[in-house]
Structure 1
Amino acid sequence: MNTYIKTILLFTFLVLTSCEDVIEIELQSVPPKLVIEASLDWEKNTLGNEQMIRLSTSTPYFDTATNTFVTGASVKVINNSNNTEFIFEDQNNGDYLTSDFVPIINQSYTLEIIYNGEYYSATETLIPVVDISGITQSRNRGFDEEVLEVNVNFNDPVEKGNYYLFRYWEDGDLLVRLDGLKDEFTNGNPFSWYFEKIEDEDNGVEEFVSGDLVFIDFFGISKGYYNYINVLTQQTGGVSLFGTIPVPLKGNCINLDNPDNDAYGYFRLTQVIRSAYTFQ
């Protein structure tokens, strides 16, 4: 009997192991595209003269080792009213810096990049942001009435068509939370926007507790960037700006020499208020 059982077990093992096939996933290979991270953020009540633009190239989905930063490109931003040029100097690590940018509210600017003999361009307007009237905490506005949440309060201007971006992260977080907002139903009125964290053990997310420090960036943004960030946050679940997304997301950076080779990323100019809040 023991010999019979051993024979059956051995046969079963051989059948199971022989059914193991190596499945090779063949991913579509596409040429790398230029990725432009050009967020010129002017912190309110500062000069805003120091700005950075980062260039890299896209990589295959599973490639985490390839060095993707771009050097040797020509990068400049132009004031479209007086044609003043601001040259961004190559730092040989993918970063391009300037220390003489002059931010002007509601002024239109054009980004010009020459890379690999091709000319990329994008145009945006520097959008102002309203003052924050107060930052408070509560427990009764979110999905869970037992969870602490932070509230950013402000007065929306009477002018129609205002768009905002909130960026939140707790001290020590690796990823940020992004929320876009338009004043379609709040135009000209006081408004409060909240942020909470629901505990998620699987992803290591813990709800806010007393003593936690949360950082808040509050931006005024254009309608075009609002639409872009809205799609991006839907695809990434609202976290991180540069996580992997299911499909390529087209920004406003156009390749004027080769329309089939447009860049990824977005050229934006915003005014921002940076704040922090400690939960009581």
Structure 2
Amino acid sequence: MRHNLYRILMVLLCIFTSCTDVIDVEVPTAEERLVIEASLDWEKGTPGNNQTIKLSTTTAYFNPDTSNSVIGAEVTVTRDLDGAVYVFEDQLNGTYTTDSFEAILDESYTLNIVYNNETYTATETLLPTTSITQITQSKDGGFLSEALELNVYFDDPVDETNFYILRYFEVGDFYPTLVSVSDEFLNGNEIHLFFEKDGDDEEEEFEPGDIVNVNLYNVSETYYNYMDILISQSGSSGNPFSPAPVELRGNCINITNPDNYPYGYFRVTQTDFETYTFIEDEE
């Protein structure tokens, strides 16, 4: 019996003290591509002259600390109506800025980027947006009966097809929340949307004193579809019924080498901006 016990102990000792082989797994890395963040937003009531475009490149998943800011590119936006050209100056940190942009509603604008001897371009039309008519707070329209929620109201124009993006950003948060909505079944009516935090471990419910900035954009159908997919994919974690993530490409194309297509989108839009501060519930 002692002899058998000794053998068992020796086998266990060999198992727990044996060497572990290191296996190197080659992870496929996609080709580096240009990423274009070109949202020219003209806020109602402002000149809209100051605009910024950001350029970067994709990076390997396991090298997040690698600098991917693009410098040395040539960036311009042309108003197609009269050929006015707005040069975006390289700030040597991945951003390109201008303080002379002039917005005209319902006119098209063309983005032109020259980088690594290749030319990227995209065209969008500057659409007017309706105004936010009212922002209120309540506790009776959301999923949590006792949670504060934000209500945003605006009037959809009659006899028009419109697509909207709402951007909610609570002061102090790292990222905004984006919502896409069309007027397919709401044409010509008042549209009411509510925004509520779900109160999980990573996201506390709204409290009195919280400040939320709200932007309303009237966007093109192509941008609406682009954002609808992006919002669905970015918020689908843990949802077994969500669509499988797909490679999302915007409206920017590489006219020099189409196979080396970029990521990102060129958007030109008017936006209405409001700020709301939650107050103590009177009930």
- Normalising by structure 2, what TM-score? 0.89
Question: CA RMSD for the aligned pairs?
Answer: 2.3
Hey, what's the Cα distance between the residues in 1 that align with 2:269 and 2:213? 18
Answer whether contact 1:37 1:55 (CA < 8 A) is retained. Answer: yes
Deviation at 1:9, TM superposition (A): 6.1
CA contact (8 A) 1:130 1:220 kept: yes
In 2: Cα distance, 1:187 partner to 1:17 partner: 72
Aligned to 1:260: 259
Contact 1:177 1:238 in 2 (8 A): no
- Give the residue type in structure 1 aligned to 2:190: P
Taking the aligned partners of 1:238 and 1:218, their CA distance within structure 2 comes to 23
Distance 2:136 2:5 in 1: 70
- Amino acid across the alignment from 1:231: I
Match of 1:227 in 2: 225
Name the CA distance, whole Å, in 2 between partners of 1:191 and 1:229: 19
Q: CA deviation at 1:180?
A: 0.8
Q: Which runs of 5+ in 2 are unaligned?
A: 238-243
**For residue 181 of structure 1, what is the aligned residue in structure 2?**
181
Letter in 2 for 1:220: N
State the partner residue of 1:55.
55
Q: 1:19 to 1:115 in 2, by over 3 A?
A: same
In the alignment, what sits opposite 2:213? 215
Distance 1:276 1:5, change over 3 A: farther
Aligned length: 273
2:116 maps to 1:116:
yes
Asked whether 1:35 is paired with 2:31, we answer no
Aligned to 1:133: 133
Cα distance in 1 for residues equivalent to 2:153 and 2:145: 19
Secondary structure at the residue paired with 1:268? strand
Report the alpha carbon displacement of residue 145 of structure 1 after superposing the two structures with TM: 2.3
How has the CA–CA distance of structure 1 residues 18 and 111 changed in structure 2, closer, same or farther, with 3 Å as cutoff?
same
Q: Distance in 1 between matches of 2:153 and 2:2?
A: 77
Map of 2:91 onto structure 1: 91
**Aligned match of 1:242:** none
The verdict on how the C-alpha distance between 1:279 and 1:89 changes in structure 2, with shifts beyond 3 A counting, is same
> Could you say what secondary structure the match of 1:261 adopts?
coil
Query: Could you tell me whether the CA contact under 8 Å between 1:33 and 1:261 is conserved in 2?
Result: yes
Distance 1:13 1:127 in 2: 73
User: Given that residues 142 and 149 in structure 1 are in contact (C-alpha distance below 8 angstroms), is that contact kept between their aligned partners in structure 2?
Assistant: yes
Q: Percent identity?
A: 49
Question: What is the CA–CA distance in structure 1 between the aligned matches of 2:59 and 2:273, rounded to whole Å?
Answer: 33
Once residues 170 and 15 of structure 2 are traced to their aligned partners in structure 1, the CA distance between those partners, rounded to angstroms, is 52
* 8 Å CA contact retained: 1:252, 1:266: yes
Measure, in 2, the Cα distance between the counterparts of 1:221 and 1:128. Answer: 9
Matches within 5 A, 1:241-280: 246-280=245-279
Deviation of 1:28 after TM superposition, in Å, equals: 1.3
CA offset digits 1:65-117 (Å, max 9, x no partner) = 11111111111011111111111111111111111111111110110111111
Rate the CA distance shift 1:17–1:279 in 2: closer, same or farther, 3 A.
farther
User: Which deviates further from its counterpart, 2-11 or 192-201?
Assistant: 2-11
Equivalent residue runs for 1:137-148 within 5 Å: 137-148=137-148
User: 1:206 is paired with a residue of what secondary structure?
Assistant: coil
Q: Indicate the residue corresponding to 1:151 in structure 2.
A: 151
What residue is the counterpart of 2:240 in the other structure?
none
Q: Secondary structure at the match of 1:227?
A: helix
- Structure 1 residue 14 displacement after superposition: 4.1
Moved more, 222-231 or 2-11: 2-11
Q: Which amino acid aligns with 2:265?
A: Y
SS in 2 for 1:226: helix
Letter of the 1:195 partner, please give it. Answer: F
Give the superposition deviation at 1:142.
Answer: 2.1
In 2 relative to 1, CA 267–2 (structure 1 residues): closer, same or farther, beyond 3 Å? Answer: farther
Asked if the contact 1:178/1:238 (under 8 Å) is kept, the reply is: no
Describe the SS at the equivalent of 1:228. helix
